[in-house]
């Protein structure tokens, strides 16, 4: 394409389809036709920065500076270059430029503190971080924990073990640390041989992490990270919080910045892969995951994300990948549960049941596990075992709307325990009043009880909430027929027949229409 406009439009279209590389290339080509275009310079800069092309972004930022164009993030790529070159005087100047954007002040704080430490002014850098940890930056109540973590890391870097342990113990007492901060804190304790606290922190991690493996990996580590790696860790932590309150553009750009500062950061690679998977860039996500060590801290999250990517395209491949991993680690209870979920989704219910029972025998206990086992039992017509497992799930979590609805609907559909069924479903609807499926269940149980006016009212509401669900429309047709509204019943049945892919439901509706 040989014009600015054509390449600009192509860049915008590529961006719409989430093809960020193509978009970045088109912006650069468009810029080659009109190098003084301020908007194109900005767009090209943002595209390169979000793609993780830090050197290219830095070059474009310098071009913007030459023509007096101000832009958010413009100083960050050059700052990263200066950090890697260990030009700490330049880093301090650039950190001040970053801080001119109020949203970027926390990032500037971390960069400035570590630059001071690198220049031999460690106490000043540490004091700067501690002061920041006592402040509520930009009204973000979680930010101080990140600065306390950075201060603990700096005390460790400076060899001040007493100060490090004091700061680490402050964090240890908190109950609001993310899994990311828990891992960093565990790493600090591991390097100082604090085995009890190390174990307690690892126990708090979500089941998606392989806790035994993490304990072994952290217990073996010795060398502290480089300054650039400390800065990268802080940038990731702050950007994760910023992305929750604003948008993911910050996270995409800053993860690339963190990887530029620390190409070995498996945490950054995993988070980049996660972002890519959410915008359906599956191949790019898999390429990032491939760089994560199979034996490291992020190996199990990597596996679970790979399985999730496989599952959306080929559930057989997802099962095969997970089963292959379990052949080497059959005692992993959480992965046995995940395997059970895959089998259940693919209607291999006997295998799902067996995988869930294996997970329970290995010590995994949760309401979700009991519920999924109960669903497998129910679909295998093992009703007594199903009811026992549903009740076990509700004992663990009485407020789980999915268990309440499933058990209540099952009973209602079979016409038994109807008073109990209506109580369960009403509780589910109170918890999730905007769920058309739960409201449908409530209407259906009233239909089974003979409360036809209530049944119609709830089923009509359910069709408004879920207008293209054939089962709900079929239920409303039944309720209309029972109340003498025959024309409306036939219309709902015909509509349900036109949108369903379920052969059994098609046959049932066709039979009703014939009669």
Indicate whether 300 belongs to any domain. no
- C-alpha angle with apex 369: 363 to 371, nearest 5 degrees? 145
Residue 53 and residue 103 in one domain:
no
Do 43 and 55 reside in the same domain of the chain? yes
Question: Are residues 201 and 250 both part of a single domain?
Answer: yes
Assigned token pair, 273: 């892969």
Residue 170 resides in a domain: yes
* pLDDT for position 492: 95
- Total-model pTM: 0.84
What's the pLDDT score for residue 38? 79
Residues 253 and 373 in one domain: no
User: Quick one: pLDDT at residue 42?
Assistant: 84
Assigned domain for 237 exists: yes
pLDDT in tens, 502-511: 899 999 999 9
Q: Where is pLDDT greater, at 216 or 241?
A: 216
Tell me, yes or no, whether 407 lies in a domain.
Answer: no
Q: Which two tokens stand for residue 269?
A: 């690679």
Q: What pLDDT is attached to residue 329?
A: 87
Domain closes at, from 24, 44, 74: 74
The reply to whether 119 and 179 lie within a common domain is yes
Q: What is the pLDDT of residue 69?
A: 83
Whether 26 and 8 have beta carbons less than 8 Å apart is answered as yes
What pLDDT, on a 0 to 100 scale, did the predictor assign at position 251? 79
Confidence of residue 22 (pLDDT cuts 50, 70, 90): confident
The proportion of the chain whose per-residue pLDDT surpasses 90, expressed as a percent, equals 70
pLDDT > 70: what percent of the chain?
94
Does residue 32 sit in the same domain as residue 86? no
Higher-confidence residue of 462 and 137: namely 462
380: which DSSP letter? Answer: T
Total tally of structural domains belonging to the chain:
4
pLDDT at 66 over 90: no
CA distance 188 to 154: 11
Range of the domain at 162: 76-264
Q: Is residue 283 in a domain? A: no
The sign of the torsion formed by the CA atoms of 33, 38, 41, 44 equals negative
C-alpha closest to that of 73 among 49, 52, 47: 49
> Which has the minimum average pLDDT: 112-116, 358-362, 416-420?
416-420
Q: In angstroms, what is the C-alpha Rg of the chain?
A: 28
Residue 478 sits in the same domain as residue 362: no
Residue 404 within any structural domain of the chain: no
165 found inside a domain: yes
Domain final residue, candidates 398, 430, 451: 398
- The CATH number of whichever domain residue 430 belongs to comes to 1.25.40.10
Segment 272-277 shows an average pLDDT of 91
Confidence check: pLDDT of 52 > 90 = no
For the cut 90, the answer to whether the pLDDT of residue 364 exceeds it is: yes
pLDDT tens-digit map of 77-123: 999 999 999 999 999 999 999 999 888 899 999 999 999 999 999 99
Question: CA nearest 334: which of 360, 313, 316, 314?
Answer: 360
CB 153 within 8 A of CB 184: yes
pLDDT tens-digit map of 125-160: 999 888 877 765 445 555 578 999 999 999 999 999
H, E, C per residue of 161-195:
HHHHHHHHHHHHCCCCCCHHHHHHHHHHHHHCCCH
Same domain, 330 and 427: no
Please indicate whether residue 409 or residue 39 has the higher confidence score (pLDDT).
Answer: 409
- Domain at 137, CATH number: 1.25.40
Residues 113 and 248 in one domain: yes
51 and 82 within one domain: no
Q: Once rounded to an integer, what is the mean pLDDT over residues 272-281?
A: 89
Residue 452 is assigned to a structural domain of this protein: yes
User: Is residue 321 over pLDDT 90?
Assistant: yes
Residue scoring higher pLDDT (226 or 37): 226
Question: Can you tell me whether residue 193 is helix, strand or coil?
Answer: coil
């Amino acid at each position: 394409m040989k014009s600015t406009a054509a390449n600009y439009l192509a860049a915008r279209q590529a961006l719409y389809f989430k093809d960020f590389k193509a978009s970045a290339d088109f912006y650069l080509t468009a810029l080659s036709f009109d190098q003084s275009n301020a908007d194109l310079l900005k767009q090209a800069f943002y595209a390169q920065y979000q793609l993780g092309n830090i050197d290219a972004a830095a070059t474009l930022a310098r071009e913007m500076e030459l023509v007096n164009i101000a832009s958010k993030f413009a100083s960050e790529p050059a700052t990263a270059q200066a950090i890697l070159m260990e030009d700490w005087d330049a880093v301090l100047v650039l950190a001040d430029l970053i801080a001119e954007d109020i949203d970027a002040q926390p990032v500037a704080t971390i960069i400035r503190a570590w630059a001071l430490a690198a220049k031999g002014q460690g106490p000043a850098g540490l004091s700067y971080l501690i002061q920041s940890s006592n402040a509520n930056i930009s009204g973000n109540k979680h930010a101080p924990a990140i600065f306390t973590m950075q201060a603990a890391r700096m005390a460790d870097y400076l060899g001040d073990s007493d100060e490090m342990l004091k700061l680490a113990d402050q964090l240890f007492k908190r109950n609001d640390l993310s899994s990311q901060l828990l891992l960093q804190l565990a790493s600090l304790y591991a390097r100082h041989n604090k085995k009890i606290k190390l174990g307690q922190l690892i126990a708090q991690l979500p089941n998606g992490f392989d806790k035994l493996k993490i304990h072994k990996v952290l217990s073996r580590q010795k060398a502290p990270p480089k300054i650039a790696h400390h800065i990268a860790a802080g940038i990731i932590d702050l950007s994760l919080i910023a992305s929750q309150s604003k948008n993911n553009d910050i996270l995409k750009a800053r993860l690339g910045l963190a990887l530029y500062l620390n190409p070995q950061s498996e945490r950054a690679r995993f988070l980049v892969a996660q972002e890519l998977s959410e915008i359906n860039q599956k191949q790019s996500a898999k390429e990032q995951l491939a760089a994560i060590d199979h034996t490291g801290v992020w190996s199990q999250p990597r596996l679970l994300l790979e399985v999730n990517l496989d599952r959306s395209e080929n559930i057989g491949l997802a099962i095969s990948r997970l089963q292959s991993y379990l052949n080497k680690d059959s005692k992993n209870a959480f992965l046995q549960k995940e395997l059970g979920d895959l089998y259940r989704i693919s209607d291999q219910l006997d295998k799902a049941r067996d995988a869930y029972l294996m997970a329970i025998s290995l010590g995994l206990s949760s309401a979700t596990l009991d519920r999924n086992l109960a669903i497998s039992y129910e679909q295998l017509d093992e009703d007594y075992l199903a009811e026992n497992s549903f009740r076990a799930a509700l004992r663990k979590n009485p407020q789980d709307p999915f268990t309440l609805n499933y058990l209540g609907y099952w009973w209602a559909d079979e016409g038994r325990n109807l008073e109990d069924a209506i109580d369960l479903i009403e509780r589910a609807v109170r918890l999730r009043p905007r769920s058309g499926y739960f409201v449908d269940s409530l209407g259906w149980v009233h239909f089974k009880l003979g409360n036809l006016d209530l049944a119609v009212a709830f089923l009509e509401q359910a069709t408004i909430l879920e207008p293209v669900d054939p089962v709900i429309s079929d239920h409303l047709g039944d309720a209309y027929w029972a109340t003498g509204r025959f024309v409306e019943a036939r219309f709902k049945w015909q509509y349900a027949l036109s949108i369903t892919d379920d052969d059994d439901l098609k046959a049932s509706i066709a039979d009703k229409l014939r009669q």
